[in-house]
Amino acid sequence: MFGKLREKLKKFTKQVEEKIEEEEKAVEAPMAGEEIQKAVQESTETEGEKPGFLGRLLQVEIKEKDIEDALDELEIELLEADVALETVEALREKIKEKLVGRKVRIGTNKGKIIEEALKEAILEILTPEKKIDLLQMIKSKEDKPFVIAFVGFNGSGKTTTIAKLAHWLKKNGFSVVIAASDTFRAGAIEQLEEHAKRVGVKVIKHDYGADPAAVAYDAIQHAKARGIDVVLIDTAGRNELNRNLMDEMKKIARVTKPDLVIFVGDSLGGNAVVEQAKQFNEAVRIDGVILTKLDADARGGAALSISHAIGAPILFVGVGQGYEDLRPFDEKWFVERIFGED
Ligand SMILES: Nc1nc2c(ncn2[C@@H]2O[C@H](COP(=O)(O)OP(=O)(O)OP(=O)(O)O)[C@@H](O)[C@H]2O)c(=O)[nH]1
């Protein structure tokens, strides 16, 4: 996971480290290495925790010029890794904020300081303005069912994801029914039924060509009549966005008044997926995102950008083809995956 992204960030760390070392050499020049360490040690011991007088002399401040070149390179590489432009720019500013002016004592582990700054910057980018606790939301809704509509392009893994989420909800004690509102793509209904059967969930369906909003409406009525907790609405994707699709989405939203609209995107699609999400967000407000195929994603561009770009949190990530392979998203976990080993 994210091998390429990791490489780029490591390269940045190394470049900045070398620059700081150059600054250090200028400070160190008049003294020999061992003398410096000793002087810093003694000075700190006499003045407590904080660096003492000599310690202060023997520290360097990271300057903008030390990181500018490395940031320029990182910016290009992140764009190549399909991180959205506005996210790259925001990340650049945050990294700068965290590093410029920072005082580094000679002899300390500079790589660690730089890596921590990168981690913090990425964590801030990933942390959405609003968070969603799905289980809590479902529990606290008084009039059942809780309705979730899924939107996204063809091939994004939407159908598999709906089955994974149904499985996860069942494991958490909720009853679920699925609306087969993709009445457009040949085979979509059978495919959904097959997945639903495997996870033990009923599908409400009409024929192909039927009104998707009517199918969703029926599923909600079915849930109401039987006290089912959650309705998951599978909507049609297209290969490209068009007016019909957006009008269809708007009608489903009008008729079913979903509690949540979740955008399902293939993380391998990179920036294109972020653009899709933005367009859906303009038509029907997206409340949350599920990114699929993260297990196969070396670049991490979509994952890094999507929350920041549309202001909605990533709720889950798909990390494999099995029904268990859906992971509630956690920013810290994500950052650890980027910096840790696979
Ligand atoms: N490795 C991996 N594969 C996934 C993941 N999610 C889905 N897939 C696979 O992606 C392929 C497409 O998924 P489907 O759910 O069939 O998606 P689709 O029907 O093409 O697309 P929709 O029209 O969006 O439903 C299938 O082979 C899935 O097993 C994931 O998180 N990781």
Residue 25, annotated as binding a ligand = no
Range of the domain at 264: 134-339
Same domain assignment for residues 151 and 111: no
- In ligand 1, the atom with minimum distance to the C-alpha of 163 is 15
Residue 239's pLDDT is: 66
Domain closes at, from 126, 158, 186: 126
Ligand 1 pocket test, pick from 190, 239, 321, 329 with the greatest ligand atom count within 8 Å of Cβ, gives 321
Asked whether 67 and 95 are in contact (CB, 8 A), the reply is yes
pLDDT at 47: 47
**End position of a domain, from candidates 70, 92, 126:** 126
pLDDT at 342 (0 to 100): 56
Supply the pLDDT for residue 75. Answer: 93
The domain boundary, picked from 96, 126, 156, lies at 126
Count structural domains, the chain.
2
CATH number for the domain including 34? 1.20.120.140
**Residue 25 C-alpha to ligand 1 middle, in angstroms?**
54
What is the distance in A from the centroid of ligand 1 to the CA of 160?
Answer: 5
Q: What is the structure's pLDDT at 217?
A: 97
Using 50 as the pLDDT threshold, list the residues of the chain that sit under it. 47
3-state secondary structure (DSSP) of residue 1: coil
Nearest ligand 1 atom, CA 319:
31
Protein residue whose Cα sits closest to atom 12 of ligand 1: 157
Which residues, other chains included, contact 302 with Cβ-Cβ below 8 Å and sequence gap of 6+? 82, 265, 266, 267, 268, 269, 270, 271, 273, 274, 291
Q: What are the pLDDT digits (tens) for 10-63?
A: 999 999 999 988 888 777 665 555 665 666 566 555 545 555 555 555 788 899
Q: Return the pLDDT at 52.
A: 54
Which residue has its alpha carbon closest to ligand 1 atom 7? 157
Same domain? 158 vs 285: yes
Cα(155) to centroid of ligand 1, in Å? 6
pLDDT of residue 26: 76
Cβ-in-10-Å burial (0-12, 13-18, 19+) of 110 comes to: buried
Taking the centre of ligand 1 as the mean of its atom positions, its distance from the CA of residue 93, in whole angstroms, is 36
What's the pLDDT score for residue 43?
56
Q: Is the domain of 121 the same as that of 139? A: no
CA of 268 to the centre of ligand 1 (A): 12
- Provide the pLDDT for residue 1: 66
pLDDT for res 46: 52
- Distance between Cα 234 and ligand 1 center (Å): 13
Q: Which residues line ligand 1 (CB under 6 A)?
A: 152, 154-160, 191, 237, 292-293, 295-296, 318-321, 325
CA atoms within 13 A on the CB side of 276: 25
Same domain, 141 and 252: yes
Residue 6 is labelled as binding a ligand? no
Distance CA 172, CA 86 (A): 37
| ipTM of predicted assembly, 2 dp | 0.95
Of 137, 134, 95, 136, nearest to 116 by C-alpha is: 95
Locate 124 and state its tokens: 């801030």
